[in-house]
Amino acid sequence: MAVAVLATLVLASCGDDDSKKTTPRAPAVTGDLELVIRADSGPGRESLSGLICRPGEVRATGPLRQQADAERLCDAARDLSSELTSKPPARRVCTRIYGGPQTARITGTIDGRRVDRTFKRTDGCEIKDYAQIAKILPS
């Protein structure tokens, strides 16, 4: 009988622990984000945009200003910070597919980390990378 009571207590203590549950919260602005985005969608179709996200100042310039809410663009850029602040793996196996002439060069800083990445659509890996950052590019 004591074993059954002990087993019941152990099993009752398993499962969700309310003290460990977290409630979703809004992303905190931890630092400054300043990006310059040079996009080229084909011969003669270049654009230059800027994105500034810091406490007290959130704004987009150039074509980005007309296409989306600057706060939403800041959130998207922060979500992409690891892609923007690091280089892709050197030894990726990529399909040989040409996705088009579009290129984008993004420079600046995110939370003090340097950004200097070029994105293009010349093979399967680069098409995937370009698609990931497309939400912060001018349309």
Q: What is the pLDDT of residues 23-56, one digit of tens each?
A: 333 444 457 999 999 999 887 789 999 999 999 9
Q: Is residue 137 packed enough to be buried (19+ CB in 10 Å), middle (13-18) or exposed (0-12)?
A: buried
Q: Which two structure tokens, joined as six digits, stand for 36?
A: 């310059």
Cα separation, 114 vs 64, in Å, equals 21
Cα separation, 35 vs 59, in Å, equals 11
Is residue 16 classed as helix, strand or coil in its secondary structure?
coil
Domains and CATH numbers, the chain: 29-136 (3.30.350)
pTM summary value = 0.75
Cα separation, 107 vs 89, in Å, equals 19
CB atoms within 10 A of CB 134: 14
> Which tens digit of pLDDT belongs to each residue from 90-130?
899 999 999 999 999 999 999 999 999 999 999 999 999 99
- Using the structure block, give the residue that is written with the tokens 């100042």: 57
